Amino acid sequence: MIDIRHNVILRDFVEESKAEGRVEGRTEGMTEVLRGQLKAKFGPLPKWAQERLAGASTVQLERWVKRILTAKTLEGALDKK
């Protein structure tokens, strides 16, 4: 039996996988919260908005989460020009 705590390669792989999973989970959570906020404020989301949310980076999501507080339109909230 291999104890990954004593195997540098496996231990590093597991730690990297955990970190990636946390980032992915955070991004998914932010996306769902923002989607709910956008729907509550602007109604059903058009396809372009859903696509922007699906492809957004964590940095974009963080910016949009703040912007929704003052945005007057869906386009303004999601940087659509």
Average pLDDT over residues 62-69: 93
pLDDT value of position 1: 67
pLDDT digits (tens, 9 = 90+) for 5-50: 677 776 776 677 766 666 676 788 899 999 999 999 999 999 999 9
- Rounded CA-CA distance 37/23 in Å is 21
d(CA 49, CA 75): 8
User: Each residue of 57-80: b (16+ CB within 10 Å) or e?
Assistant: eeebbeebeeebeebeebeebbee
pTM for this prediction: 0.70
Model confidence at 78, in pLDDT bands (50, 70, 90)? Answer: very high
CB-CB contact of 71 with 77 (8 Å): yes
Best CA proximity match to 67, nearest among 56, 54, 77: 77
